[in-house]
Amino acid sequence: MRLALAALSALTIAAVALPAAAETWKPYSAVSDKGLQWSYDTDYSYRDAASGMVVIQQAIGKVGASPRVGPSAPGAADGVGSVVAIDCKAKALMIIGSYSPSKPLAIADTWRTGKPAKATSADDKALVTAACAGADQLPTK
């Protein structure tokens, strides 16, 4: 019995000590008339060493929905979004992969050969502004 309790205790401690997949979603767009809002995951954001661009994961969610609906990462039942590379100096961006519940995220190894387009929509401009604000503090990968 003591051995069983010790084993259960060890398993409980191990389960608590496992790292969680962090997702810290920061809204950057205005809420649409249908209650939709775009956010990006600040825990995913990084500066790409090869291109110098900031890479972020963005997703859409329904504000105030119960139960909660997005934003979520790839693989979640309510995960709809994309991964975007941003050239902060040029204020330009390009989608390098997208995902939905029926489509897993896939990013081509050749994405760095693409040419970012100037941010023109209000949502794209807001994303560039938000993601580039702390770009100098992002980890480089």
Q: What is the pLDDT of residue 21?
A: 58
Please indicate, yes or no, if residue 61 is contained in any of the structural domains. Answer: yes
Q: What is the pLDDT of residue 67?
A: 81
Q: What is the pLDDT of residue 11?
A: 35
Please indicate, yes or no, if residue 62 is contained in any of the structural domains. Answer: yes
Structure pTM? Answer: 0.82
Please indicate, yes or no, if residue 36 is contained in any of the structural domains. Answer: yes
Strand partners, 100: 103
Give the chain's domain count: 1
| C-alpha distances in Å from residue 130, one per residue of 21, 91, 97 | 22, 11, 20
Looking at 15-29, 81-95, 118-132, which range is the least confident one? 15-29
Domain with 112, as residue range(s), is 20-137
CB 128 within 8 A of CB 86: yes
Q: In the predicted model, what is the mean pLDDT of the chain? A: 86
User: What residue type is 73 in one-letter code?
Assistant: A
Taking the alpha carbons at both ends of the chain, their separation in whole angstroms is 49
